Amino acid sequence: MQNFIFHNPVKIYFGQGQATNITEEARRAGGAILMVYGGGSIKRNGAYNDVMKALQEAGNEVIELAGVTPNPRLDITLQGVKLVKEHDVKLILAVGGGSVIDCAKFIALGAGIGEDEDLWDDYIETGKQAPEDLVPLGVVLTTAATGSEMGDAAVLTHWERKRKLGYTSHPLTPRFSVLDPTYLTTLSREQTIYGFADMFCHTCEQYFSLPSDDNLSDEMAEAIMRHILRSWRACLAQPTDYTARSNAMWDSTLALNRIISRGKDEDWATHGIEHAISAKYDIPHGAGLAVVHPHWMKYVVEASPEATARFARWATNVWGVDATGKSDLVRAKEGIERYSDFLARVGAPRTLEEAGVHPDDAMFDAMADHVGDDARGSYKKIDRAAAREILVDCQT
Ligand code: NZQ
Ligand code: ZN
């Protein structure tokens, strides 16, 4: 295993009715609260009422910032920064999915940097680490997907420049997150699928990476992947089932709270390619991943005997492919095939066209440029040329 530091201080309030704990958190914050949310789904799934009730009990001033879109953008983030400064906000409360949470993280960052610094150019583009003393962040989660509720990462889009970038820094980590699975029951079938595609891919991004030697992280990742598949089927079969939604919520949090990447390289090439697509076409993140991920697998499976062996292990331990009398490569390819078939069966898009994306040559170049030569990848580095090849392959 590689050396690592593990420090994840997020307090999780898990289960039905847990939003009542916000009262105590608001009292602890002791001042104005900026409540950030999206296009209104929280008014239909009960989260808005629960949060408002808890905040009224605490008595803090509450400022609302609504309208955060999926693939959140810089402009609304800067509106939030202004509000934090104007109202001397003491707690930012994100109520929604990954987009709302990430926007709130960047609001905290934007409000904490120097007056002469630029959020996008000086931090997001460069990865410069955040100051330690940001306004604290609380989360009320309404999707099972990104893991942002228990992590230090966030993703933002600069739409005018057609750039979508991830940013990671410990001070962005939420102070607490409320995970009430009842809020998930209003998710559409599509959003449910996109969330599962995302959490499954997160697990793979960590699992398909060096070193391949024995470690607990990989065994945990396999268990999480098997469990995600079980929850995925259960949520589609019974969208209002509490057990199914509870499992989905915790699966997604565990898939990206960094516990399963300890001791490993991590890969994230599929995410780099997906961000290039949604930077240009504004498609849901999970839809882009469902298209790219199996194509990335086909590109990487024969990169080295070690890579093939890892895919073979995954095929057997996650997809139940019988190992008897089969070479690693045969087994590995059977696993990828089962994954593709599964995605098709649940109704996830599998080609760019099915995701509503029709690039011409210039657009393939632009997406490959977005991935750049700052190659991600572990078993195989994915540079600009490799990303272009994978994207072109995503047409079929
Ligand atoms: O805007 P509202 O009305 O709230 O509707 C949202 C939105 O339209 C809706 N929704 C959310 N909860 C709902 C609901 N509809 C019904 N019932 C509910 N309970 O769902 C739509 C999508 O919401 P969004 O927040 O965009 O989804 P998700 O949680 O999948 O977040 C995706 C964003 O997170 C980024 C993605 O790139 C994308 O921008 N990611 C963040 C990561 C991180 N911070 O670590 C890692 C991921 O890899 C990912 O890149
Ligand atoms: Zn993701």
pLDDT digit string (tens) for 241-278? 999 999 999 999 999 999 999 999 999 999 999 999 99
Whose alpha carbon is nearest atom 32 of ligand 1? 98
pLDDT at 375 over 80: no
- The mean pLDDT value of the chain amounts to 97
CB 51 within 8 A of CB 18: no
pLDDT in tens, 66-76: 999 999 999 99
Give bridge partners of residue 366 from the DSSP assignment: none
- Strand 62-65 and strand 89-96: pairing? unpaired
Between CA 185 and CA 253 the distance in angstroms is: 17
Q: Which atom of ligand 1 is nearest to the CA of 278?
A: 37
Give bridge partners of residue 189 from the DSSP assignment: none
pLDDT in tens, 36-83: 999 999 999 999 999 999 999 999 999 999 999 999 999 999 999 999
Amino acid making up residue 294:
P
Q: What is the pLDDT of residue 26?
A: 98
Q: What is the pLDDT of residue 161?
A: 97
Cα 53 to ligand 2 centroid, rounded to whole Å: 32
Residue 23 C-beta-side C-alpha neighbours within 13 Å: 11
Cα 381 to ligand 2 centroid, rounded to whole Å: 19
pLDDT in tens, 181-190: 999 999 999 9
Q: Burial-class residue 131 by CB neighbours within 10 Å (0-12, 13-18, 19+).
A: middle
pLDDT band of 373, cuts 50, 70, 90: confident
Cα 129 to ligand 2 centroid, rounded to whole Å: 21
Whose alpha carbon is nearest atom 38 of ligand 1? 71
pLDDT band of 374, cuts 50, 70, 90: confident
Between CA 282 and CA 288 the distance in angstroms is: 10
Q: DSSP string of 329-375?
A: HHHHHHHHHHHHHHHHHHT---STTTTT----HHHHHHHHHHH-SS-
Stated pTM of the model: 0.98
Between CA 90 and CA 22 the distance in angstroms is: 14
Ligand showing the shortest atom-to-Cα distance for residue 201 = 2
Cα 324 to ligand 1 centroid, rounded to whole Å: 41
Amino acid making up residue 262:
R
Tally of CB atoms within 10 A around 233: 15
Which protein residues have a CB closer than 5 Å to ligand 2 (ion)?
A: 198
Q: DSSP string of 46-113?
A: SHHHHHHHHHHHHT--EEEE--PPSS-BHHHHHHHHHHHHHHTEEEEEEEESHHHHHHHHHHHHHHHS
pLDDT at 323 over 80: yes
Between CA 206 and CA 57 the distance in angstroms is: 42
pLDDT in tens, 90-124: 999 999 999 999 999 999 999 999 999 999 999 99
CB 43 within 8 A of CB 51: no
Q: What is the pLDDT of residue 351?
A: 98
Between CA 181 and CA 17 the distance in angstroms is: 9
CB 252 within 8 A of CB 146: yes
Cα 27 to ligand 2 centroid, rounded to whole Å: 33
Work out the average pLDDT over 327-338: 98
Work out the average pLDDT over 16-31: 98
Q: Which atom of ligand 1 is nearest to the CA of 289?
A: 48
Give bridge partners of residue 138 from the DSSP assignment: 93, 176
Whose alpha carbon is nearest atom 17 of ligand 1? 187
Amino acid making up residue 308:
T
What percentage of the chain has pLDDT greater than the value 90? 99
Whose alpha carbon is nearest atom 49 of ligand 1? 146
Cα 155 to ligand 1 centroid, rounded to whole Å: 11
- How far CA 124 is from CA of 65, 168, 191, 364, in Å, comes to 22, 9, 27, 24
Phi-psi sector, 39: left (phi>0), alpha (psi -120 to 50), beta: alpha
**Protein residues whose CB sits closer than 6 Å to any atom of ligand 1:** 38-42, 45, 70-71, 96-100, 102, 142-143, 145-148, 151, 153-155, 183-184, 186-187, 191, 194-195, 198, 271, 285-286
Ligand 1 pocket, mutate which of 8, 73, 146, 168 (most atoms under 8 A from CB): 146
Q: DSSP string of 22-53?
A: HHHHHHHHTSEEEEEE-SSGGGTSSHHHHHHH
